[in-house]
Structure 1
Amino acid sequence: MDPATSLFEHHRSRLFGLAYRMLGTPADAEDVLHDAWLRLHAHDLATLDDPEAWLVTVTTRLALDRLRRAKAERAHYTGPWLPEPLAPETEHPDTTLERSESLTLSFLLLLERLSPDERAAFLLNDVFDYSHAEAAAILEISEDACRQRVHRARTRLREGRPRFNVDESAQRRLLRRFVVAMEEPTLDSLRALFAEDAVHVSDGGGVARATLRPLHGADRLARLYLQLGRNLGGARYELATLNGAPALFMRQGDTLLSAIWIECGDERITAIHALRHPGKLARLLAVTKPGASTSLH
């Protein structure tokens, strides 16, 4: 392995973790890393006083440019956009890196509240532990401007956090109850699962059938899943782990229909997210081997 590649591989996991949190899709993160690797190969290594800082700077700026373009594209996305999961951690070497709440799909969705500049400053400072001065240098802004971006980001994220619960045991219990309710669906059994102000978000990307806007309220969610339960006879449910948090795969035969994750509080589901976009599911299915999840049917 040549010196540049060896250097890059040494820092690859950290760089991927940063790019993925910035962009919310593994493929985009890999593209950013490929571009960073090309730039490193074109650079004279002898001139790098701090190779890691140089790589983090290049990766951050490339991810920022790509995120700005993605934000513009997502404005025309059909229905809600949800982040794309990493492969289950047993299948993806990069997921062992910096495992934390900041990698969960619910947190990645929360990050969508931020502008690209706020997202970069927040991640560098709060997740990757760079000082305001170090983050400012990476972003080519003043230290005061960096502090302001981080402050705004924290404020925006706090506004969304009251509904955000990372109690994995509670999530697993509720997912199991959800499966039981879906196997013999009734309005009462489904309604009992949801908080009064629960929200359902589904990403079909205009390709798969999905709700085109978030649905709110226990009654509406219960009626939606009652209809789905009746229409999806023979569906198989599997408990899985996506981005370090409990999730549910819904399959019919060899087809992965959706990947579902939830937020909860007081033993009720406060938010349920259903990823139904065939492209995103196909990439997830391609790296999900038999035995990676637990059948609940």
Structure 2
Amino acid sequence: MDTAGTRSPEQLFEEHRPLLTGLAYRMLGSMWDAEDTVQEAYLRWTRADRDGIREPRAYLVTVVSRLALDQLRSARATREAYPGPWLPEPVDTAAVGPLDTAELRDTLSYATLHLMERLTPPERAVFVLREAFELPYDAVADIVGMPAATCRQLRHRASARLSDARGGDRFQPSGEEHTRLLNRLIDAAGGGDMAALADLFSQDVVAWNDGGGKTRAALRPVIGREHVIAFVAGLLERYQVDEIRLTEANGGPALRLTIDGRPQITLLDVRDGLIQGVFVVLNPDKLTHLAED
């Protein structure tokens, strides 16, 4: 039982803030929205009749989940009108709570967050609550307002859609494999070695670029190895690479680059030892929750 004891309402909430932020972020893919959601939950917590709340953690998870689900439903239309591909906001791992299980790590990985954009809001909510936070179906049903049997179906459907999109892979590769590929990517791109670069990509690799209409970026995904190589070659020919180094985001390695004075973060989807997806976040509004390491 999660009782309040002698702790103040503010102390109780702060104890759960990392978990709540991680929950909201996984559901929304945006740290800005996640922080707003958690702040709204805090305001509701301060106004609640806490004498009747026996388990603050369960209460707060329910409040944040419902707020995030409402936000996710309203955000879909905005993301569909977004200039170019909409990508999740990369974040520092420490900002979104512990990663004690493989499921918590997997649902924070950038490739998984990107795939979760394919799910309906109820599918995403059920998947995150059940898969990452291991809530019983009765609790999930109460949060999303659907029968437990329906939630089971939604979780199964979401898992199947993500598995199909991943080609059957359940979890992301190790950080060591990711880092090796990123270092090879740095060496190949830095040396202008397009042949070595091509060896890193799968035949059907896709590159997404999110400029948010605030900086120059491809407005459509770049599909296929030859097109991605040509796109990278064009960038290297046209722009000056001021900085390129390894960093960390979403529980795994990433690249921090500055090209022609514009900062960006590049993250990879790696499968079977090859790069399947390239996610380039250039929108400056989406780079504010990453530490300047």
TM-score normalised by structure 1 residue count: 0.89
Secondary structure of the equivalent of 2:264?
A: strand
The yes-or-no answer on 1:129 pairing with 2:134 is: yes
Match of 2:279 in 1: 273
AA aligned to 2:285 is: G
- Cα-to-partner distance string for 1:110-139 (whole Å, 9 max, x where unaligned): 111111111111111111011111211222
For residue 205 of structure 1, report the CA deviation from its aligned partner.
1.2
**Structure 2 Cα separation of the partners of residues 201 and 234 of structure 1:** 19
Aligned pairs for 1:1-297 (under 5 A) are: 3-87=8-92, 89=93, 92-98=94-100, 100-162=105-167, 165-252=172-259, 255-281=261-287, 283-284=288-289, 288-289=291-292, 292=293
* 1:166 to partner: Cα distance: 2.2
Counterpart CA distance in 1 for 2:137 and 2:168 is 29
Runs (4+) of structure 1 exceeding 6 A deviation are none
Tell me, which stretches of 5 or more residues in structure 1 are unaligned? 293-297
Matches of 1:102 and 1:256, distance apart in 2: 29
In the alignment, the residues of structure 1 paired with residue 67 and residue 271 of structure 2 have an alpha-carbon distance, to the nearest angstrom, of: 37
Conservation of the 8 A alpha-carbon contact between 1:163 and 1:265: no
Gaps of 5+ in 2: 1-5
Equivalent-residue separation in structure 2 for 1:279 and 1:266 (angstroms): 33
Q: Percent identity?
A: 36
1:72-109 deviation per Cα after TM superposition (whole angstroms, max 9, x unaligned): 1101011111100113x4xx454445451211111111
Assess if the C-alpha contact under 8 Å between 1:198 and 1:269 holds in 2.
Answer: yes
Structure 1 pair 192/211, CA: closer, same or farther in 2 (3 Å)? same
Question: Are 2:241 and 2:257, in contact at CA under 8 Å, matched by a contact in 1?
Answer: no
CA contact (8 A) 1:201 1:272 kept: yes
Give how far 1:232 is off: 2.7
Q: CA deviation at 1:19?
A: 0.5
RMSD after superposition = 2.0
Deviation at 1:2, TM superposition (A): 7.4
Please report the TM-score for the alignment, with normalisation by the length of structure 2: 0.90
Shift of 1:217: 1.1
Kindly provide the amino acid, as one letter, of the partner of residue 89 in structure 2. Answer: E
Pairs aligned (count): 283
Q: Partners in 1 of 2:121 and 2:286 — Cα distance? A: 22
CA distance in 2, matches of 1:96, 1:131: 20
Query: Could you tell me how far 1:288 is from its partner in structure 2?
Result: 2.2
Q: Which moved more, 1:266-275 or 1:105-114?
A: 266-275
Partner-residue secondary structure (3-state), 2:167: helix
CA contact (8 A) 1:132 1:146 kept: yes
Provide the secondary structure at the position in 1 that maps to 2:215.
Answer: coil
Q: Which residue of 2 aligns with 1:295?
A: none
Inter-partner Cα distance in structure 2 for 1:200 and 1:270: 9
The CA distance in 2 between the partners of 1:240 and 1:9, in whole Å, is 28
